[in-house]
A and B are shown apart, each in its own frame.
Chain A
């Protein structure tokens, strides 16, 4: 009888532990309800008590004073005395000093010499500014030509960049989106803003401007332009902001497409680990395994590459001061990411960036940060999204009915599988695995991204409005 009691007690304790574990598990993994979100917070200077929004839309033309270009050239002309790379080391210790010297020389002697040409290129896409919630927002707005609008259904599209990117990433993508092609019934009226704190958009002047606030401002921008319903496409922060937009304002979003479909909820992380060991149970073909298997190595890689994230999320003003004070500092720091994202086959190669993106594109993008001294304000976005206020929203656990499309480029961050995405996006319409390509898909392979995006849009089944 005593043995029975002991046995019963052990079973009871075990049962209690399992029960408790189950409760914790469901608490951590169940979907959360959509929060009510305040969509008119004032983000300008002061308390906004007497804020009267200026709803006008102003033309924007990039016209950098020659003195600024000359000063940059002068700064780039200082004799660099960078520490020699260690023997046999290319980019394993960060951006190679020889490569940095070469870039600085090119930037100064070749790129800046044809700055007028680059500036004219920037201005090829029509740009504007308008004030949303107290912040001046810069954006590209490219409408569809009349002849195209006659043949294709025109849908508004909000295109969102990330870090260390900018609207420049979309300069090959946007012309495709506006065109009439025979693979799509649609053409897109593109709105591509500089994120708040990036490019030519204002930055917030008080704490709290996180990715939910960013989604709100961008949604309000679209409303300002007369678009109550629109598509959203983004990578990097653009993907996260787009996801938040689809979550908080589902009535405004016709469809959401991402080229960085990650999901970091507790449930999704558990599922990632499961897929790592049992890919055959989740993925329909071996061809997809590489994207998901070897998860521990992928996490190790993430730790290797996320020092910038850690410092920007905790000390953005420190690193920002360093990067805003020196164009050479800014160049090495940002170019490191472009170099790394060329993929494992090329990322130790000194010619990788030329091959994969082209030097002009990379330097154009760098200029967006340099001209706006945006390193500090862009870095602060990381801190705001690591703050408790944002983490508590747990927006990744809130489901949205918005149709979703996912393009998984091989060398980007470890993606979520359909099995994982459906927990948040039950209306997942389309997903694709690419065996090539990396983080900066719009820059690297815009036609692939265009193909995937338009395929997704076809599948949504939009009614003519």
Chain B
């Protein structure tokens, strides 16, 4: 009996030791810096050519004026009787975009917004728009320079939007960034591109342009414009593309600021899971309410990620469905401006859209998608990024040593704690929490985002 017991204990100790050893090794592997993926910096994304590609490096002013015929056709479409079903009794936005609110939006769009379209178009043109060809794609960008009278030091800033956003999100923050004030010793020369496939930027003609490849294109854009070193600020895809850029091209990045910091490396995901189960171990109590438990996160993801699921698997189906379908496009996009601004707005019949935004703002952004007919190419980014090949690049395992700032706006869909971000952002110098604001802070609370950003910049160059 005793010897059997001893043997059993020995076996158990042996097994436990092996498990611990394997875990430590795996942990070391997981937290070691990942290998920088080797991407082709000159990969061609344009249509098939008969002759070798010769990049046209000219940077030309770009006229975003919309053909009058398009506006006329849009008016005709919006004049049509709506073919919507009444919402279910007692329902706000729990089943998606409430058709009664959609009716209101469409009416405003047709009767107010489009009747002052010239005014809106002039508003969109207030910044200087350009286009240049990078790797076969015509890339559009806003270039906003501080006035020559500015005495403060100028830093270049690459400002990146996401989906379903656009450069329009930055129209209030750009003037703050380019105008000197006592909050900052710096002013910024802002390059705000439309992501490849979004807005006035051309989409790829072949498969493979995921977030990593997009970051190559945008880094080449900055080099083209003469910026060898620059700051990056982004949210949504802008956050992901921005961090990819910082991972791939550390020599170009002065600092990275995001309002949606994330870490998709294996270690990051393990820690994220653990932090959801045992939050107290990973999160300080003052901001505990930002970091919801695993149950809530899972439910939220299931509830809110239907669009991502379909866009990652059937982008051309949903894209074709929304192209030239203004009513559908409005419902599909504005649903996000409701729920991602504040999840609780789902209980409201109007989705709380006008609590934080004006219809003009929201419709400006919709128009960017509509007039450029870019919805399909924009959603392809999901298919090109959310797949095993792109995941296999494991780009989030590459350590970023540039200064990093993470701003957390309470109503963002999900927050990732610093402890989970640690292996990716080796030099995270600022983490802030705001009890106001959601997924679109540049759009919703531009002053707050600006203030946070310049505080980060101050620390970065201290």
Contact = CB atoms under 8 A, between A and B. Distances in A.
Given A310-B305, A317-B85, A207 B204 contact: no
B314 A95 contact: yes
A316 B305 CA distance: 13
Nearest to B89: A206
Contacts of B325: 322, 325-326, 328-329
A313 to B, nearest CB: 7
B10 to A, nearest CB: 10
A392 interface: no
Interface stretch (A1-9, A145-153, A457-465): A1-9
B96 A314 contact: yes
28 contacts: A7-B8, A7-B9, A82-B323, A83-B316, A83-B323, A87-B207, A88-B206, A89-B207, A94-B313, A95-B314, A97-B320, A203-B85, A303-B313, A304-B313, A305-B313, A310-B305, A314-B96, A314-B304, A317-B96, A318-B97, A319-B332, A321-B331, A325-B83, A326-B325, A328-B324, A332-B317, A332-B321, A333-B317
A10 B373 contact: no
Contacts of A78: 73, 324
Contact of A314 (B205, B303, B323): B303
Interface string A61-86: 00000000000000000101111111
Residue of A93, A310, A373 with most chain B CB atoms under a 10 A cut-off: A93
Interface residues of A, number: 61
Contact of B88 (A82, A206, A305): A206
A422 interface: no
A442 to B, nearest CB: 24
A315 interface: yes
Interface of A: 3-4, 6-7, 10, 78, 80-89, 93-97, 100, 203-207, 303-308, 310-326, 328-330, 332-333, 336, 373, 376-377, 380, 383
Nearest to A318: B96
Contacts of A10: 8-9, 12
A315 B335 contact: yes
Interface stretch (B215-223, B230-238, B376-384): B376-384
Contact of A6 (B9, B102, B309): B9
A320 B96 contact: yes
Contacts of A204: 88
B149 interface: no
Contacts of B9: 3, 6-7, 10
A318 B321 contact: no
B98 interface: yes
Q: How large is the interface on B (under 10, 10 to 19, 20 to 34, 35 or more residues)?
A: 35 or more
Given A94-B317, A206-B89, 9 more contacts: A95-B314, A310-B302, A310-B306, A315-B96, A317-B87, A324-B84, A328-B321, A336-B317, A380-B88
B318 interface: yes
B311 interface: yes
B226 interface: no
Nearest to B76: A78
User: Interface majority SS on A: helix, strand, loop or mixed?
Assistant: helix
A84 B376 CA distance: 9
Sorted nearest first, the 6 A-B pairs with minimum C-beta distance are: A322-B328, A307-B310, A94-B317, A94-B314, A315-B96, A318-B96
Contacts of A314: 96, 302-304, 306
Given A315-B306, A321-B102, A328-B325, A97 B2 contact: no
Contacts of B318: 94, 307, 333
B82 A307 contact: no
A310 B306 CA distance: 5
Given A83-B319, A84-B205, A336 B309 contact: no
Contacts of A324: 83-85
Contacts of A4: 1-2, 5
Interface string B405-420: 0000000000000000
B99 A307 contact: no
Contacts of B332: 318-319, 321-322
A87 B335 CA distance: 32
Contacts of A3: 2, 5-6, 9
Contacts of B204: 86
Contacts of B335: 315, 318
Given A100-B320, A332-B320, A377-B85, A207 B91 contact: yes
B83 to A, nearest CB: 5
Given A310-B310, A318-B332, A376 B85 contact: yes
A207 B92 CA distance: 12
A46 to B, nearest CB: 9
A299 to B, nearest CB: 14
Nearest to B316: A94
A207 B264 CA distance: 37
Interface in B1-33: 1-2, 5-6, 8-9, 12
Contact of A87 (B73, B87, B89, B206): B206
B99 A321 contact: yes
B53 interface: no
A10 B16 CA distance: 13
B321 A322 contact: yes
Contact of A325 (B6, B305, B327): B327
B268 interface: no
Nearest to B321: A329
B328 A326 contact: yes
B131 to A, nearest CB: 19
B328 A95 contact: no
Residue of A307, A313, A330, A332 with most chain B CB atoms under a 10 A cut-off: A307
A76 B13 CA distance: 73
Contacts of A304: 313
Contact of A321 (B89, B97, B207, B376): B97
Nearest to B314: A94
Contacts of A329: 320-322, 325, 328
Interface string B229-255: 000000000000000000000000000
Contacts of B319: 82-83, 94
A303 B308 CA distance: 12
B173 interface: no
Given A307-B310, A307-B312, A205 B95 contact: no
Contacts of A336: 314, 317
Contact of B328 (A203, A308, A323): A323
Nearest to B204: A86
A373 B83 contact: yes
Nearest to A204: B88
A328 B317 CA distance: 10
B40 interface: no
B329 interface: yes
Residue of A88, A317, A322, A324 with most chain B CB atoms under a 10 A cut-off: A317
A205 to B, nearest CB: 6
Contacts of B317: 94-95, 332-333, 336
Contacts of A207: 88-91, 95
B403 interface: no
B51 interface: no
A81 B69 CA distance: 14
Residue of B203, B304, B313, B319 with most chain A CB atoms under a 10 A cut-off: B313
B48 interface: yes
Residue of B12, B317, B376 with most chain A CB atoms under a 10 A cut-off: B317
A323 B310 contact: no
Given A84-B205, A94-B314, A207-B89, A322 B320 contact: no
A377 B95 CA distance: 11
A83 B89 contact: no
Nearest to B10: A3
A94 B315 contact: yes
B2 A307 contact: no
Contacts of B377: 83
B321 A86 contact: no
A35 B8 CA distance: 49
A165 B98 CA distance: 26
B96 A83 contact: no
Contacts of B298: none
